[in-house]
Amino acid sequence: MLRLECPVCGLRDHDEFTYLEDGSITYPKLANENQDDWFNAVYLRENPRGRHIEKWHHTFGCRTVLLVERDTLTHVIGKIKPAHPKIAAALKQPATAKKRS
């Protein structure tokens, strides 16, 4: 069983999470009407051997969408961070948060 260190909740079993998709995909802007761009984003995936960025959702936890670095060969889990840049930035300042509490 994979165990993921959720930046909000801590180390948890993977069955608390939902795998969403390849986390390295950049979707076109909504206003982009190019069908090929959307097709590539929706359907085309690399199948890397080794380091892979994945998008997971902490469904039975804080419901944060996470970018998880996983080695597809060894299952070793690397860095985990929230996908939302503002949530990631907020979590990087534990000192002030602690002071307040």
Sequence letter at residue 9: C
- Binding of residue 49 to other proteins (CB under 8 A): no
In sign, the C-alpha dihedral spanning 51, 4, 41, 24 is negative
Alpha-carbon distance 88 to 62, whole Å?
A: 14
The reply to whether 1 sits near other proteins by the rule CB under 8 A is: yes
Q: Which of residues 7-36 bind other proteins (CB under 8 A)?
A: 13, 18, 20, 27-28, 30-35
Distance CA 86, CA 80 (A): 15
Q: How many positions of this chain bind other proteins (CB under 8 A)?
A: 34
Min CB(37)–other proteins separation in Å:
8
For the CB of residue 30, give the shortest distance to other proteins in the complex, in Å.
5
